[in-house]
Amino acid sequence: AETIGEHMQLIEDAAGSTAILRTLSGQVECLTVVTPDRPGILSLVSGTLAVHNVNVLGGMAFTRDDGVAIEIMHVDDALGHGIDERRWGRVAEAVPEALAGRLPVETRLAETRAAYQAAPRPQMDTTVHIDNVASEVFSIVEVNTADRLGLLFEITNTLRELSLDIHVAKVDTIGPEVVDAFYVQDRNGRRVEAAEEIEFITRSVRDAVNALDATQS
């Protein structure tokens, strides 16, 4: 009930625009973003966080029937030092700017990757699977891979470029491993069921994830 109240207050504060709330969930910081639904929200928010070296550990994203999108992300510092108030202030300014199209997220993220010395990752193959059994309404794109800076941005941005609308996202980071699920529909509001489309989507997402190794090596 308390969380629902916070979300309703955020929707009121947003007044048709964007509002952000930072809270503490146990020992993990939580960032909630409320904004009008439109393509690419999850990729813009996750990309902006990655620009500021904020790592998404888990969370959910969904859209209400009235067109309000709510992104709930559990986060920590990708650099391992803790996120100070100054950096949180930059994040709070940058997220609405990104959602308004005034922040070049992809360019800024490339700059961050170039400057960021990634920690060694365990060897882990990237697997992408599309499930059309668990839901009668959505295709579920499941991604299992090693965690990387900007990973969530690359996956969601690729899905956007493939004209897939993300209605629900479930993101989980378990140690060095990421297990993500995205409930999607195509531009006509249908599941993806043609074999050639499924193969193209799985290959595109897998290639986008694996390309991160080249940019962070």
Report yes or no: 97 and 109 within 8 Å, Cβ to Cβ.
no
d(Cα 68, Cα 64) in Å, to the nearest integer?
5
Q: How confident is the model at residue 158 (pLDDT cuts 50, 70, 90)?
A: very high
- Tens of pLDDT along 30-46? 999 999 998 899 999 99
Residue type, 213: D
Question: CA 43 to CA 48: how far, in whole Å?
Answer: 8
pTM score, whole prediction: 0.85
Place of tokens 């300014």: 93
Per-residue confidence (pLDDT) for residue 124, from 0 to 100: 84
> Which residue has tokens 């029937």?
65
Burial of 120: CB neighbours in 10 Å, binned 0-12, 13-18, 19+ = exposed
Calpha distance 71→44 (Å, rounded): 11
pLDDT given for residue 43 in this prediction: 94
Is the pLDDT confidence value at 126 over 80? Answer: yes
Give the bridge partners for 70, in sequence order.
Answer: 34, 62
Mean pLDDT across the chain: 91
- Strands (E) across the chain are located at 19-25, 28-36, 54-63, 68-77, 127-131, 139-146, 165-174, 177-185
